[in-house]
Amino acid sequence: MKYLPSIFTTVFSSKMGRQNIRLLLKYVFALALLISFYSVIFHYLMAAEGQKHSWITGFYWVLVVMSTLGFGDITFTSDIGRMFSIIVLASGVIFLLVLLPFIFIKFFFAPWMEAQARNRAPRELPPDMTGHVIITNYDSVTISLIEKMTSYKHKYVVIVENLQHTLELYDLGVYVAQGSIDDPETYRRLRVNNASLVVATNSDQVNTNIAFTVREMSERVPIFVTADSPHSVDILTMAGSSHVLLLYDMLGKSLANLTIAGDCRSNIIGRYEGLIIAQSPVIGTPLEGKTIMDSDLRKTYGLSVVGIWERGKFTIPRPDTIIDRTSILVFAGSAESLAAYDEVYSFYHICKIAGDPVIIIGGGRVGLAAAARFREREIPYLIIEKSQKKSRPNDNYVFGDAADINTLEKAWFEKAPAALITPHNDDTNIYLTKYLRSLRPDMQILSRASQDRNVSTLHRAGADFVISNASLGANSAFNYLRNEDTLLLTEGLNIFHIKTPEYLSDKTLSNSGIREETGCTVIAILRDGRMTINPEARTVIKKDDELLLIGTFDAEKSFLRGSKS
């Protein structure tokens, strides 16, 4: 009974609800006429059998029979009376047991349930909402972005057009609002003028429409969009986009930059003001077999080894950590320090790949972007592609299935220093990674992942590096939101900065427990406008310092949890 007031309020508040009420009143009137008609006939038939009953009894008998209760206290003895009872019973089943529940559910309960559902899926944000991010699509990129913003407690809202999908996301804990992404009214209700960013990861055509629509409501809000085609960049910019990310182009170039080939100079994977984050392979250099302490990199070049990659696993090194042949060191330091290191270590013989091409599996957008990067670096490559229709004039192809050993032999697989696996399908990439690793345990294998959940699986299959377009796009959007240059292209590795948490104030780095308890490393301290790169372990953390840290996404979340507890 407690729900009846809200049901009636919902029904009477809309035009459709009032129409439903009129239909219901017509039905009730017709039902009352039918009951009255049956009651009159009841009296005539009972009189014919010599029985006399009051009018109240007549209505009572009709309702008892129509509702199939059948108490049996009043009955006919003649066949015509029993036939009449059958007719009343049958009509009762139709009118009371079938039509009445249907009408109630259709015209009362269903509208109320829909109204309740719409209340769970808001269409408008509060007038005082500011600094939020408006997201126009719920896909792998924005899922990663939402996870990152949730860690930093940044406000956001996802626009969803379908009510059922809206409710599903709402039940998952996603902040959603129902509306059309091409409707200016949607952005007005979501306070676009007060938003800090609009993120659009739809198709190029839809993103163009979104940019025009948002610009109609606000000239100042930044619009971050992804683009599939390089030809769309100018169009999206003219439509009003503030930043256009060629996601697949960046993904291909990132895979190419991580490849052990060419002169093997350190690959810069992140920047923050004067700080450079880079990674460099050890294979073939005098660093093989040494410990971090024995390498003397900090003293000689001013570089701090903040991490080591081993077949896709990132670890924080200790002074006694041994540098293996397959290790890839992650450095933090200045541009000058990195240049000094490269001057010594970049030309060792293992990096001099003379005529042995890198294999690119897949001639799609990611594969072609990687090929373009190799051409710039003058690194030989071969693209393995099933379809000859995808061939481009300036590229080198081997046509066939990469899972066929004959195709791999045509691509000089036995001598290739590295293989890039670029298809869009993660299942295919996992299969090919495992296959190639079984054939060449010593080869560097790099793979893309479309879904973050498959990154660890690809590493287990044997990939040395995996880059997820979801994380890549999410990091790009988040860094743009924070107006920073920092952009880490290595999957799962993040740079982040934060004001000194209260519990770390006046502690030295060695006593802070940051590495041991969170897995993060402090790579710089910003104090009074000056940055100290690779601070000493005895450095005292001050209350007003800003810490710059590096770590995996899980390590970052662990640190942020500790700073807010």
Mean pLDDT, residues 513-519:
84
User: Where do runs of H (alpha helix) occur along 324-364?
Assistant: 335-345
For the chain, which domains are there? Answer: 4-120 (1.10.287.70), 133-241 (3.40.50.720), 263-351 (3.30.70.1450), 358-471 (3.40.50.720), 492-564 (3.30.70.1450)
Order across the sheet with 418-421: list the strands: 397-399, 381-385, 358-361, 418-421, 444-449, 465-468
Mean pLDDT, residues 315-339:
84
Mean pLDDT, residues 371-377:
87
Kindly indicate the confidence band of residue 219, based on its pLDDT and cuts at 50, 70 and 90. Answer: very high
Range of weakest confidence among 262-266, 378-382, 390-394, 456-460: 262-266
pLDDT in tens, 297-317: 888 888 888 888 776 677 778
CA distance 265 to 280: 7
Four-residue CA torsion sign, 419, 423, 424, 428: negative
Range of weakest confidence among 107-121, 219-233, 423-437, 461-475: 107-121
Confidence (pLDDT) at 444: 86
Residue type, 525: I
Confidence (pLDDT) at 266: 76
pLDDT at 483 over 80: no
pLDDT at 332 over 90: no
Kindly indicate the confidence band of residue 456, based on its pLDDT and cuts at 50, 70 and 90. Answer: confident
Residues 283/353, Cβ–Cβ less than 8 Å: no
For the chain, what percent of residues have pLDDT higher than 90?
A: 32
For strand 381-385 and strand 358-361, is the pairing parallel, antiparallel, or unpaired? parallel
Between 565 and 18, residue with greater pLDDT: 18
Kindly indicate the confidence band of residue 485, based on its pLDDT and cuts at 50, 70 and 90. Answer: low
Kindly indicate the confidence band of residue 562, based on its pLDDT and cuts at 50, 70 and 90. Answer: confident
- The residues pairing with 134 across neighbouring beta strands, listed in sequence order, are 157, 198
In the structure encoding, which two tokens stand for residue 177, read together?
Answer: 């609002």
pLDDT at 565 over 80: no
Residue type, 230: P
pLDDT at 129 over 80: yes
Q: What's the CA angle centered on 75, arms 74 and 80, to 5 degrees?
A: 145
pLDDT at 391 over 80: no
Number of helical H runs and strand E runs in the chain: 23, 21
Confidence (pLDDT) at 486: 47
pLDDT at 511 over 50: yes
Cα 552 to Cα 274, 303, 323, 492, distances in angstroms: 22, 20, 20, 5
Q: What share of the chain is helix, strand, coil (3-state, %, to 5)?
A: 45, 20, 35
H/E element, 158? strand 156-160
Confidence (pLDDT) at 135: 96
Kindly indicate the confidence band of residue 261, based on its pLDDT and cuts at 50, 70 and 90. Answer: low
Confidence (pLDDT) at 475: 84
Confidence (pLDDT) at 260: 66
First to last CA, the chain: 45
φ and ψ at 332, to 5 degrees? -130, 130
Mean pLDDT, residues 348-361:
67
For the chain, what percent of residues have pLDDT higher than 70?
A: 89
Residues 206/212, Cβ–Cβ less than 8 Å: no
Instruction: Kindly report the number of other CB atoms within 10 A of residue 265's CB atom.
Output: 18
Mean pLDDT, residues 363-368:
90
Kindly indicate the confidence band of residue 114, based on its pLDDT and cuts at 50, 70 and 90. Answer: low
In the structure encoding, which two tokens stand for residue 507, read together?
Answer: 């502690």
H/E element, 328? strand 328-333
Kindly indicate the confidence band of residue 559, based on its pLDDT and cuts at 50, 70 and 90. Answer: confident
Confidence (pLDDT) at 489: 44
Range of weakest confidence among 22-26, 46-50, 445-449: 22-26
Kindly indicate the confidence band of residue 420, based on its pLDDT and cuts at 50, 70 and 90. Answer: very high
Confidence (pLDDT) at 193: 94
pLDDT in tens, 145-183: 998 888 878 999 999 988 888 888 888 889 999 899 999
DSSP single-letter state for residue 484: -
- The tokens 């109609």 sit on which residue? 216
CA distance 206 to 243: 16
In the structure encoding, which two tokens stand for residue 36, read together?
Answer: 């009255």
pLDDT at 354 over 60: no
CA distance 79 to 85: 10
